[in-house]
Structure formats: structure tokens, C-alpha cells
Amino acid sequence: MISIQDKIIVAENCEEYKPKVYIFSANITALSQGCNTCINYVNDKCSRKLFEEIEKKIKTN
Ligand code: SF4
């Protein structure tokens, strides 16, 4: 199980991040939910296979 913190960090660093819903309120950002709110996140996995790649880059930096 991937932690919410990891999903947030990955989503913040992901160029392919696309929120599933348009968020109207400035107080609630979709990004604060990380990959969970990304259209490419399906069945608890990144359908574009970017998650591991980005996570690796972050952890080596
Ligand atoms: S689900 Fe995939 S494409 Fe979406 S933000 Fe996460 S790593 Fe990027």
C-alpha cells in the first residue's frame, strides 16, 4: 500500500498529473490528495507507469 505522502510528492513532481475533477475552491486542492485524484490513477496504480519512476527519482535526490 502506497502512503498518501508518497502519492502527494509524486503527483507534485509529475508532469502527467491531471485532476479527475475540477476543483473550484482554492482551499481544497486536488493535489493535496496526490495521485488519488489523477485521471491516470486506476485500481491503486498509475496506468502510465510513472509512479515508480518518479518515486525513484525523488528518493535518490
Ligand atoms: S497517477 Fe501517475 S500520472 Fe498521475 S500523478 Fe501519479 S504518477 Fe503522475
Q: Domains of the chain: which residue ranges?
A: 4-60
Residue 45's pLDDT is what? 94
Nearest to 12 by CA among 50, 43, 45, 42: 50
Neighbouring CB atoms inside 10 A of 26's CB total 6
**Is the per-residue pLDDT at 24 higher than 80?**
no
Q: Is 10 in the pocket of ligand 1 (CB under 6 A)?
A: yes
Ligand 1 contact, 33 CB (< 6 A): no
What pTM value is reported for the model?
A: 0.83
Cα gap 40→26, rounded to integer Å: 23
Average pLDDT over residues 17-25: 75
- Ligand 1 atom nearest residue 35's Cα: 6
Q: How far is the CA of 54 from the centre of ligand 1 (A)?
A: 9
54 lines ligand 1 (CB under 6 A): yes
Q: What does the mean pLDDT of the chain come to?
A: 88
Express each pLDDT in 28-52 by its tens digit: 666 778 999 999 999 999 999 999 9
Side chain identity at residue 23, one-letter code: I
All three cell numbers of 43: 485500481
